[in-house]
Amino acid sequence: SIAILLYLARKFKTPDHWYPCDLQKRARVDEYLSWQHVSIRGKASKLFLTKMLLPMLTGQPVPPEKLESVTEDLNVVLKQFEEKFLQDKPFIAGSEVSLADLVALVELMQPLGVGHNPFEGRPKLAEWRKRVEEALGKQLVQETHEGILNISNL
């Protein structure tokens, strides 16, 4: 939950880069956190549900045109993410990783877990992912997402 992340950042006085005191940087974080609910989260989750859960629940394959439509919806918001939020910066709020980057990366692991690589063919997005993973610790990122990345083993 975004509300819980913000509460924790404030309560435990985390390092400033997570939720910056600088109003312009904080506004960038807040802007992304407000936008992502109906964009990346919505579209990435829909792809996950369409590709993995619906076939499991119904026992029927998803029609290819439905999967194409859901994938295209995700592609649209990924383009918006790159153009609006990443632009030419290393991270969403500037030169340091923030809660916005953490939330964005987590959302993009769902499609990755069902065999759709949202970073493929998007060098800017792939480089951003690499920077976020390095800032968080690559092993920690892998351990944290182990379940979703191996969801097909269910």
CATH number of the domain that 75 lies in? Answer: 1.20.1050.10
What total number of domains does the chain contain? 1
Q: What is the pLDDT of residue 151?
A: 81
pLDDT of residue 14 exceeding 90, the answer is yes
- Quick check: is 11 in a domain? no
What amino acid occupies position 15? Answer: P
Q: 154 pLDDT band (50/70/90 cuts)?
A: low
What is the per-residue pLDDT across 28-60, written as a single tens digit (0 to 9) for each?
999 999 999 999 999 999 999 999 889 989 999
Domain that holds residue 148: 24-153
Count of other CB atoms within 10 angstroms of residue 79: 12
- Quick check: is 48 in a domain? yes
What's the pTM?
0.91
- Quick check: is 8 in a domain? no
